[in-house]
Amino acid sequence: MSDPVERRLLTPEEYREAQASPEFTELRKRFRAFAFPMTVAFLSWYLLFVLLSTYAHDFMSTKVLGNINVGLIFGLLQFVSTFVITHLYVSHANRKTDPIADEMRDRLEHHEYADGRRRGGSEGATRV
């Protein structure tokens, strides 16, 4: 990271050039490939819980162990699924998106997007 004293502000053109880069396109693609399906899966799971709680009262009140019923287990599994999704996202980001984002930030800090200058092509977009 640059020394704050030496750092100069980025121009709007540099931001536009970075946004138009193949690296940024790949970064968006990788993020969306994870975020959209995971969002749909979680919202579907949550909607199932709400619908079962509303319309399948007998099923949700079925005792499993002592006073623990299916509804309570499903409710607790909502928390578990949230933690699992968070873990999956962190793993995905560490492997798939952070390397590209780190490289782009480094290039922005060194003003390599100024006037269309690019270091070595689009090597960041091809990283796995």
Cβ neighbours around 86 below 10 Å, total: 10
- Residue 28, pLDDT > 50, answer yes
Asked whether residue 6 is domain-assigned, the answer is no
Return the structure tokens found at 127: 């990283």
Rounded to whole angstroms, how far apart are CA atoms 14 and 125? 18
Asked whether residue 83 is domain-assigned, the answer is yes
Residues of the chain above pLDDT 70, percent: 84
User: Mind listing the pLDDT tens digit for each residue in 105-121?
Assistant: 998 888 888 766 555 44
- Could you tell me the residue range of the domain that residue 25 belongs to? 12-116
Q: For residue 122, what pLDDT is reported?
A: 46
Number of domains in the chain: 1
